[in-house]
Amino acid sequence: MEQPQISVEDVARLARLELEPDERVRFQEQLDQILAYFDRIRQVPVDGVEPTAHTQPVYNVFREDEPGPGLSSEEALGNAPQAADGLFIVPRIVETS
Amino acid sequence: MSACLTKLTLREAVHHLEAGECGSLELVDALLASIAERDPLIRGYLHLDPEQAREEARAADQARAAGRRGRLLGVPIAVKDVLNVRGQPCTCGSRILRGYRAPYDATVIARLRAEGAIFLGRTNMDEFAMGSTTENSAVGPTRNPWNLERVPGGSSGGSAAVVAADEALAALGSDTGGSVRQPAAFCGCTGLKPTYGLLSRYGLVAYASSLDQVGTLTKDVADAALLLTIMAGRDPRDSTSLDVPPTDYTEALIPDLRGIRLGLPKEYFEEAIEAGVKRAIESALEVFCALGAEVREVTLPHTPLAIPTYYLISCAEASTNLARYDGVRYGYRTPDAADVDTLHERTRAEGFGREVKRRIILGTYALSRGYYEAYYGRAQRVRTLIRRDFEAAFHSCDALVAPTTPTAAYRLGERLDDPLQMYLGDIFTVTANLAGIGGLTIPCGFTPEGLPVGLQILAPALGERVLIRVGHAYQSVTEWHRRRPPLAAGGGRP
The beta strand positions in B229-357, using DSSP E, are: 261-265, 294-298
Dist CA B76 CA A49 (whole Å): 47
The residues with which B263 forms a beta bridge, in sequence order, are B296, B400
Residue-number span of the structural domain to which B294 is assigned: 2-301+388-489
Q: Does residue B354 sit within a domain? A: no
Q: Does residue B237 sit within a domain? A: yes
Q: Does residue B368 sit within a domain? A: no
Contact across the interface for B358 and A4, Cβ inside 8 Å: no
| Banded model confidence at residue A3, pLDDT cuts 50, 70, 90 | low
Contact across the interface for B357 and A17, Cβ inside 8 Å: yes
Is A84 at the interface with chain B, CB within 8 A? Answer: no
Q: Which residues of B touch A20 (CB under 8 A)?
A: 349
Which CATH number goes with the domain that contains B284?
3.90.1300.10
Contact across the interface for B333 and A81, Cβ inside 8 Å: yes
A42-72 pLDDT, tens digit each: 999 999 999 999 898 888 888 899 998 899 9
Q: Which of residues 28-67 of A touch B (CB under 8 A)?
A: 30-31, 33-34, 37-38, 40-42, 44, 46, 49-56, 58, 61, 63
In chain B, the number of structural domains is 1
Q: What is the ipTM of this complex?
A: 0.94
Averaged confidence pLDDT in chain B: 96
Q: Does residue B280 sit within a domain? A: yes
Q: Which residues of B touch A19 (CB under 8 A)?
A: 349, 357
pLDDT of residue B2: 59
B87-118 pLDDT, tens digit each: 999 999 999 999 999 999 999 999 999 999 99
B83 touches B111 (CB < 8 A):
no
Q: Does residue B349 sit within a domain? A: no
pLDDT of residue B321: 98
Q: Does the pLDDT value for residue A4 go beyond 80?
A: no
Q: Does residue B338 sit within a domain? A: no
Dist CA B277 CA B358 (whole Å): 31
Residues in chain A: 97
Q: Does residue B481 sit within a domain? A: yes
Sequence-separated contacts (24+) of B485-494 with Cβ below 8 Å: B485/B145, B485/B146, B485/B164, B485/B165, B485/B188, B487/B38, B487/B41, B487/B42, B487/B145, B487/B148, B487/B165, B488/B38, B488/B145, B488/B164, B488/B165, B488/B166, B490/B3, B490/B37
Q: Which residues of A touch B345 (CB under 8 A)?
A: 16-18
Is A11 at the interface with chain B, CB within 8 A? Answer: yes
What is the pairing mode between strands B190-193 and B438-446? Answer: antiparallel
Q: Does the pLDDT value for residue A1 go beyond 80?
A: no
Give the catalytic positions of B in this structure.
80, 155, 179
Distance of residue A78 Cα from the nearest chain B Cα, in angstroms: 8
pLDDT of residue B494: 35
Q: Does residue B321 sit within a domain? A: no
pLDDT of residue A60: 86
pLDDT of residue B428: 98
B90 touches B133 (CB < 8 A):
no
pLDDT per residue as tens, chain B (494 positions): 455 999 999 999 999 999 999 999 999 999 999 999 999 999 999 999 999 999 999 999 999 999 999 999 999 999 999 999 999 999 999 999 999 999 999 999 999 999 999 999 999 999 999 999 999 999 999 999 999 999 999 999 999 999 999 999 999 999 999 999 999 999 999 999 999 999 999 999 999 999 999 999 999 999 999 999 999 999 999 999 999 999 999 999 999 999 999 999 999 998 899 999 999 999 999 999 999 999 999 999 999 999 999 999 999 999 999 999 999 999 999 999 999 999 999 999 999 999 999 999 999 999 999 999 999 999 999 999 999 999 999 999 999 999 999 999 999 999 998 999 999 999 999 999 999 999 999 999 999 999 999 999 999 999 999 999 999 999 999 999 999 999 744 443 33
